[in-house]
């Protein structure tokens, strides 16, 4: 029998002895019973309860270095940084293998792949049978959100991957404090994970929302394997949020401090690899910096929002770290991210330089070894995988806000939706009211990216950036969003942005990154009643003079395109949105269809000249 890590007190496998630490045992019967049951099914050689300590991660890292799971990067330039090369067939989320298993198929909706829960359990359990023979089973208690926040929720992930343990330790509040909260509360989300044999034909990521249970096998990749993240905090979380009256969203949370010292918090939903991490830690353009503008990072991927007593939406970031896209990150685009990943970081599927520094497309210097460990040859494609990622504690970010630990969260002033829209969609517009904002979110479209397996650059509808993550029927989800518009609420204003509009030459028209603050300033000034706007059928647009464009080198034609509303194009878009919404049939709230018809009618009644606001 292997004793596992040589950790302080590994518990050798024996069904009778597998228990949570004694002092917490009283309330933990459900957890202990489940761990017993899983151990009987998967048959690990050893079981290790993770306490989250320094000693534990040191031993685990040493073991992974010894067996090649982690490769030490240059300790002079990148202290305590590690490279993990995944199986080349396991580099992204796989949406077609991701299931939501509700007893009634309609409750999962046409937006999810579905299987009958009993059938799915039977099929998955057959794959889990004996899968941990020769391996150590890790029991990871974790808390999503500040450990003392009433908005936070706990879970336990069982996994046979030490790489998952190391990532969960960065991404969540993991270990003894989480176990103590589980003991107090008695409820937790159960996540069972095994890398299995990494065969894509035996890979499944399966959710049982009614049972607060996740089963994932055959992948070690982030969103498939770090079960606290997309599986718990979004798919199971959104299902719980619907039942309990809050929102679990694929959103960054950023605080913008103006020169008067006032901070406004913005929550923004962009699909995977569409700019959340970058916006969450942007560095203001020089003029703004000199004037005293500051940016505070609360979260870069997930937002849990709940109505406060004051009727405002209060938000926490359930995560403790960033699992960010490496390619494209540079001193030019995101200096805060570069500072954040300069130490204590796990890099997955990046390339390395001659002196063993991590490298990806967008950085200066040259790779010598690609993400698969081969000598770099451009004929093999990019040196880093396009979905190469860094895992790093959020506290290392220079703009990290201490309010990320606030138990009640931060109040949200504005909600922003956006995606990759090379044509039609202007730089920014404001929804006229909440119901219109819900339509704007529901109508979101974006080009697919390397964050999920499959074709890249294909336009698809991705309502609220939740297409891969909404744990129930989108029709019910839209109704849930609409339900917040009620007496006593002080709802945020809703906006739509597009950093990805392209010119005829195929290049982005808007500089993006730090300059996106120019748009956020207008958004905040709209919330406080300070900025002007022009009404159009699709919503309120800034006139050019409403936006601070000083110091930007943009030609007049590019600007005109960024601020234009093409009525013909939008009429077609509204028709397509109507057809899309009809796909949700009976479950689609009538109010949303009425809103779509209102906008379509407004567009029909206007002509291009009347709604052109450029100039």
Which residues are tagged catalytic? 274
Rounded distance between C-alpha atoms, residue 17 and residue 111, angstroms? 43
Per-residue DSSP letter, 86: P
Helix (H, G, I), strand (E, B) or coil at 48: strand
324 binds ligand GTP (CB under 6 A): yes
160 binds ligand SPV (CB under 6 A): no
What residues from 288 to 317 belong to the interface with Mn ion (CB under 5 A)? Answer: 301
275 binds ligand GTP (CB under 6 A): yes
86 binds ligand GTP (CB under 6 A): no
Rounded distance between C-alpha atoms, residue 557 and residue 493, angstroms? 30
Work out the burial of residue 471: count CB atoms within 10 Å of its CB; fewer than 13 is exposed, 13-18 middle, 19 or more buried: buried
Rounded distance between C-alpha atoms, residue 4 and residue 347, angstroms? 24
**Shorter beta-carbon distance to Mn ion: residue 81 or 233:** 233
What residues from 166 to 205 belong to the interface with ligand GTP (CB under 6 A)? Answer: none
H or E segment to which residue 55 belongs: helix 54-67
327 binds ligand GTP (CB under 6 A): yes
341 binds ligand GTP (CB under 6 A): no
> For ligand GTP, which stretch binds (CB under 6 A), given 96-104, 326-334, 454-462, 531-539?
326-334
**Shorter beta-carbon distance to ligand SPV: residue 252 or 479:** 252
224 binds ligand GTP (CB under 6 A): no
Rounded distance between C-alpha atoms, residue 465 and residue 445, angstroms? 8
**Shorter beta-carbon distance to Mn ion: residue 272 or 536:** 272
Phi, psi at 18, each rounded to 5° = -80, 105
Phi, psi at 80, each rounded to 5° = 50, 40
**Given 216, 219, 278, 401, the residue binding ligand GTP (CB under 6 A):** 278
> For ligand SPV, which stretch binds (CB under 6 A), given 137-145, 221-229, 453-461, 553-561?
221-229
513 binds ligand GTP (CB under 6 A): yes
Name the minimum Å distance from CB 316 to Mn ion. 17
**Shorter beta-carbon distance to ligand GTP: residue 138 or 522:** 522
CA distances from 294 to 187, 234, 257, 281, 297 (A): 39, 29, 5, 10, 10
Name the minimum Å distance from CB 278 to ligand SPV. 13
249 binds Mn ion (CB under 5 A): no
Q: Could you report how far apart the first and last alpha carbons of the chain are, in Å? A: 75
Name the minimum Å distance from CB 163 to Mn ion. 19
Rounded (5°) CA angle 552-553-555: 120
**Shorter beta-carbon distance to ligand GTP: residue 276 or 436:** 276
CA 421 to chain centre: 19
* CB neighbour list of residue 146: distance below 8 Å, 6 or more residues apart: 152, 173, 316, 404, 405, 406, 407
Binding to ligand SPV by CB under 6 A, coded x per residue (else -) over 299-338, reads --x---------------------x---------------
Name the minimum Å distance from CB 529 to Mn ion. 33
What residues from 90 to 129 belong to the interface with ligand SPV (CB under 6 A)? Answer: 93
Helix (H, G, I), strand (E, B) or coil at 381: coil
Name the minimum Å distance from CB 545 to ligand GTP. 23
Name the minimum Å distance from CB 283 to ligand GTP. 12
Name the minimum Å distance from CB 449 to ligand SPV. 8
Name the minimum Å distance from CB 229 to ligand SPV. 5
516 binds ligand GTP (CB under 6 A): yes
* CB neighbour list of residue 273: distance below 8 Å, 6 or more residues apart: 325, 387, 449, 450, 451
451 binds ligand GTP (CB under 6 A): yes
Rounded distance between C-alpha atoms, residue 325 and residue 340, angstroms? 13
* CB neighbour list of residue 542: distance below 8 Å, 6 or more residues apart: 428, 522, 531, 532, 533, 534, 563
The listed partner (Mn ion, ligand SPV, ligand GTP, none) that binds 222, CB under 5 to 8 Å by sort, is ligand SPV
451 binds ligand SPV (CB under 6 A): yes
Return the beta strands (E) in 231-273 as ranges: 247-249, 252-257, 263-269
219 binds ligand GTP (CB under 6 A): no
**Shorter beta-carbon distance to ligand GTP: residue 275 or 358:** 275
Name the minimum Å distance from CB 387 to ligand SPV. 8
Pairing of strands 445-447, 459-461: antiparallel
CA 111 to chain centre: 18
Rounded distance between C-alpha atoms, residue 160 and residue 5, angstroms? 13
**Shorter beta-carbon distance to ligand SPV: residue 183 or 319:** 319
The listed partner (Mn ion, ligand GTP, ligand SPV, none) that binds 409, CB under 5 to 8 Å by sort, is none
Binding-site size for ligand SPV (CB under 6 A) equals 9
DSSP for 448-497, written as a single string: --TTBSS-SS-EEE-GGG-TTT--S-HHHHHHHHHTT-STT--PPEEEEE
The listed partner (ligand GTP, Mn ion, ligand SPV, none) that binds 229, CB under 5 to 8 Å by sort, is ligand SPV
222 binds ligand SPV (CB under 6 A): yes
**Shorter beta-carbon distance to ligand SPV: residue 272 or 336:** 272
Helix (H, G, I), strand (E, B) or coil at 188: coil
Question: What is the dihedral sign for C-alpha 205, 210, 213, 215?
Answer: negative
**Given 163, 265, 270, 477, the residue binding ligand GTP (CB under 6 A):** 270
Helix (H, G, I), strand (E, B) or coil at 153: strand
What residues from 250 to 279 belong to the interface with ligand SPV (CB under 6 A)? Answer: 272
Phi, psi at 485, each rounded to 5° = -80, 85
Name the minimum Å distance from CB 601 to ligand GTP. 33
Residues 198, 220 contacting (CB under 8 angstroms): yes
The listed partner (ligand GTP, Mn ion, ligand SPV, none) that binds 328, CB under 5 to 8 Å by sort, is ligand GTP
420 binds ligand SPV (CB under 6 A): no
Name the minimum Å distance from CB 43 to ligand SPV. 29
Q: Which residues sit at the interface with Mn ion, rule CB under 5 A? A: 272, 301
Q: Which residues sit at the interface with ligand GTP, rule CB under 6 A? A: 270, 272-278, 300-301, 324-325, 327-328, 333, 451, 499-500, 508, 512-513, 516
Q: Which residues sit at the interface with ligand SPV, rule CB under 6 A? A: 93, 222-223, 229-230, 272, 301, 323, 451
């Amino acid at each position: 029998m292997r004793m596992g890590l040589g950790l302080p007190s590994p518990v050798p496998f024996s069904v009778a002895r597998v228990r949570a630490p004694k002092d917490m045992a009283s309330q933990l019967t459900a957890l202990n019973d489940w761990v017993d049951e899983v151990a009987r099914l998967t048959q690990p050689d050893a079981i290790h309860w993770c306490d989250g300590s320094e000693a534990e991660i040191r031993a685990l890292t040493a073991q992974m270095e010894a067996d090649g799971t982690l490769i030490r990067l240059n300790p002079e330039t990148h202290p305590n940084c590690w490279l993990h090369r995944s199986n080349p067939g396991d580099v992204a989320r796989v949406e077609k293998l991701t299931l939501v298993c509700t007893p009634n198929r309609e409750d999962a909706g046409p937006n999810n792949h579905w299987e009958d829960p009993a059938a799915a359990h039977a099929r998955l359990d057959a794959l889990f049978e004996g899968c941990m023979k020769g391996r150590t089973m890790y029991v990871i208690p974790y808390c999503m959100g500040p450990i003392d926040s009433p908005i936070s929720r706990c879970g336990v992930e069982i996994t046979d991957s030490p790489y998952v343990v190391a990532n969960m330790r960065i991404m969540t509040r993991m270990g003894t404090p989480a176990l103590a909260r589980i003991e107090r509360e008695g409820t937790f989300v159960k996540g069972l994970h095994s890398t299995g044999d990494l065969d894509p034909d035996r890979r499944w990521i399966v959710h049982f929302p009614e049972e607060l249970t996740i089963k994932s096998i055959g992948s070690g990749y982030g969103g498939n394997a770090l079960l606290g993240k997309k599986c718990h905090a979004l798919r199971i979380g959104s299902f719980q949020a619907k039942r309990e009256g809050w929102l679990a969203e694929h959103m960054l949370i950023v605080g913008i401090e103006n020169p008067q010292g006032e901070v406004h918090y913005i929550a923004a939903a962009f699909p995977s690899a569409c700019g959340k991490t970058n916006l969450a830690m942007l560095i203001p353009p020089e003029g703004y910096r000199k004037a005293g503008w500051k940016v505070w990072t609360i979260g870069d991927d997930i937002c849990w929002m709940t109505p406060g007593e004051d009727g405002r939406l209060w938000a926490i970031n359930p995560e403790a770290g960033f699992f960010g896209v490496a390619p494209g990150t540079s001193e030019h685009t995101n200096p805060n991210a570069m500072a954040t990943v300069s130490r204590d970081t796990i890099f997955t599927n990046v390339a390395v330089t001659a002196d063993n520094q991590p490298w990806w497309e967008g950085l200066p210097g040259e790779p010598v070894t690609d993400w698969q460990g081969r000598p770099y040859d451009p004929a093999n494609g990019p040196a880093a995988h396009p979905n190469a990622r860094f895992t790093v504690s959020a506290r290392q970010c220079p703009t990290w806000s201490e309010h990320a630990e606030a138990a009640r969260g931060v109040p949200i002033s504005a909600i922003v939706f956006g995606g990759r829209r090379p044509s039609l969609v202007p730089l920014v517009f404001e929804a006229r009211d909440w119901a219109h904002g819900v339509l704007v979110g529901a109508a979101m479209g974006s080009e697919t990216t390397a964050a999920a397996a499959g074709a890249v650059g294909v336009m698809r509808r991705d309502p609220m950036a939740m297409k891969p993550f909404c744990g129930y029927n989108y029709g019910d989800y839209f109704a849930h969003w609409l339900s917040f518009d009620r007496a006593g609420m002080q709802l945020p204003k809703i906006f739509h942005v597009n950093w990805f509009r392209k010119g005829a030459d195929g290049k982005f028209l808007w500089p993006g990154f730090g300059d996106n603050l120019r748009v956020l300033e207008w958004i905040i000034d709209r919330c406080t009643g300070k900025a002007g706007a022009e009404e159009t059928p699709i919503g309120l647009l800034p006139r050019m003079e409403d936006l601070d464009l000083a110091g930007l080198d943009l030609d007049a034609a590019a600007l005109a395109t960024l601020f234009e509303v093409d009525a013909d194009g939008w009429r077609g878009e509204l028709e397509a949105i109507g057809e899309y919404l009809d796909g949700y049939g009976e479950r689609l709230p009538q109010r949303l269809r009425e809103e779509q018809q209102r906008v379509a009618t407004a567009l029909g009644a206007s002509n291009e000249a009347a709604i052109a606001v450029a100039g």
